[in-house]
Amino acid sequence: MKKLIYLVTVVLFCSCSVTQYHTAKPLKKGEKQIVVGLDSYIAPTVQIIAKQGINNNFVSALPINPNLQFNWGTKKNKDRTISLSVLGQLSYAVNYGLVNNEDIKFSMSVRPEVGLLAVPLQNQEVSYWAKTPLLFTKEFGEKSSFTFSPSLLFAYTGYKYAVSKHQNVFFSSSFAFHYGNKGRLVVGFSFINFKNNFSQQLSIGYIFKFGSVK
């Protein structure tokens, strides 16, 4: 039962923290945007849980997870984001622009993020995590771009049994296509290692951009 609780919680917390809805170009001061996203794991998660000795019938409980993000520019080459998911995850991120070459339409940034998750499961306290993604964005004209984002994710899960049974470091990678101007459609694919396997995630979102540069 404890093993089941651990596996379920990892899937839950990963389901809203893998896909990168943002690009490597931080918002400028005065610019704001709201991101509405929807994440869902696909078939490999079924196989992974089966390999861990869990009944496949439980897979029906895996969530399609809506999340809401508010993103605002603060100063040159830096913006901030607060995110909230229906599963009770709250996170905070800062996007630091490192490279912005307008001639070749290429940008690079680092976007450290910290968060916590509190899901009312047996024997669980609050789970904390942090990740350090690099973002690489290539723009194609004014309306479309592609972002690749590899990341290491570090997790502390508050369980009341041996920490040695936990997986505390995850590797993830996200690929996202953006299309639009003031309103932008985001379609993403990502994966994260789960024990010795990789779980894959599909995501779709919409970005509402507003505000003006100060």
Per-residue pLDDT, 72: 96
**How far is it, in rounded angstroms, from Cα 43 to Cα 177?**
22
Q: How do the domains of the chain map onto residue ranges?
A: 2-211
Count of beta carbons in the 10 Å neighbourhood of residue 147: 24
Nearest partner of 83 among 100, 65, 68, 104, judged by Cα: 68
Mean pLDDT computed over 75-93? 86
126 pLDDT above the threshold of 90: no
* Mean pLDDT score across all residues of the chain: 77
Q: CATH fold of 2-211, please?
A: Porin (2.40.160)
- Judged by average pLDDT, the poorest of 2-11, 34-43, 59-68 is 2-11
Short-list 49, 22, 59, CA closest to 174: 22
* % of the chain surpassing 90 pLDDT: 41
pLDDT above 80: residue 165: no
What does the pLDDT look like over 15-62, one tens digit per residue? 445 678 999 999 999 999 999 998 876 644 444 444 554 444 344 344
